[in-house]
Amino acid sequence: MEPATIDEVKEIAKADLKRCNADQVAGFQQYSVEPLLAPIVRNGKEESVVVVARKSNEVIYWEESGR
């Protein structure tokens, strides 16, 4: 399974934010980061996700199953 590219995730986030209200956009923008690929370990296997927001040691990331 190929991870989504950073450019794909940027476009998805941009489109999704157009459907959000002002409070939702402000909340996301408060913690958003320049999207970056990051490794995660799930079930003992290393995978890649695209991090889009961070607060302290917690992140919001994009992953696409079935790619």
pLDDT tier, 18 (very low <50, low <70, confident <90, very high otherwise): very high
pLDDT tier, 65 (very low <50, low <70, confident <90, very high otherwise): low
Model-level pTM?
0.80
Share of the chain above pLDDT 90, in %: 76
Share of the chain above pLDDT 70, in %: 91
SS3 2: coil
Higher pLDDT, 9 or 4: 9
Distances (CA, A) of 58 to 22, 33, 37, 64: 23, 12, 15, 19
pLDDT tier, 63 (very low <50, low <70, confident <90, very high otherwise): confident
